[in-house]
Structure 1
């Protein structure tokens, strides 16, 4: 069976820090497995070759690219978090937006009582929505 899994490619060895941040910040998240580059490379020893994490129950893969790319994450792709309570939405918006960029402030836009969009300090975009 074919299966699609979101895949996050980090540059400059940021994958581990990003995954640790997501697991500590988003409820229902955990690191499932991590494979690391060894001394033979081709990436820097100890950097993330392939990781699988669950972010709010969603399986996501991650990797530390050992090549410099002229592209990075774009806000047109994001993780959408459905929150049960206003305090959870506000906490996630503040934590994920810290050191990043607010794309849409947490507010009532007509389709949701509270919705916000941020790009975190690693460049990954998040939409936070109060159900």
Structure 2
């Protein structure tokens, strides 16, 4: 069994995908627009003009897959009860990805050394997604 993160961007999914491709070296592994659905959309399922919005997409970030969509609503429900934790291979990658996610976002915890990590920090990106950047300690065998 696996838990898969699925993020809804309320009309800004394509923009967010481009951002994550650059910031996190993500690769688009799947993309389907509403107009490409093999089944017709139910009446009033999506707002008018959303035919080219993203119904479902998948981004590969390292070995992980992040699923994304524009969703079916035009408003942001405001749920903030989660963070995505990104384990990075080295300090340089931690610095680069933290800075890229911080561009247009908000620093929640500065990137620095903690008792559990030589490099850890938290940032809310420009889309309001909370990220924890973590360089695992060398003696950490949990990954």
TM-score range, shorter chain: 0.7 to 0.9
Aligned 8 A contact 1:8 1:63 in 2? yes
Structure 1 residues not aligned, in runs of 5+ = none
Aligned to 2:127: 122
Q: Secondary structure at the match of 1:65?
A: coil
Aligned to 1:38: 35
Q: Secondary structure at the match of 1:109?
A: coil
The range that moved more, 35-44 or 87-96, is: 35-44
Aligned to 1:6: 5
Q: Secondary structure at the match of 1:112?
A: coil
Structure 1 residue 70, shift from structure 2 partner: 5.2
Q: Secondary structure at the match of 1:117?
A: strand
Aligned to 1:89: 94
> Is 1:71 aligned to residue 85 of structure 2?
no
Structure 2 residues not aligned, in runs of 5+ = 137-143
Q: Secondary structure at the match of 1:80?
A: strand
Aligned to 2:65: 59
Structure 1 residue 18, shift from structure 2 partner: 0.8
Instruction: Give me the CA root mean square deviation.
Output: 2.0
Structure 1 residue 78, shift from structure 2 partner: 1.7
TM-score calculated relative to the size of structure 1? 0.85
Select which of 108, 116, 131 maps to 1:111: 116
> Is 1:24 aligned to residue 22 of structure 2?
yes
Distance in 2, Cα, partners of 1:66 & 1:125 = 22
Structure 1 residue 72, shift from structure 2 partner: 2.9
**Distance verdict in 2 for CA 1:68–1:83, change over 3 Å:** same
* Higher relative strand content: 1
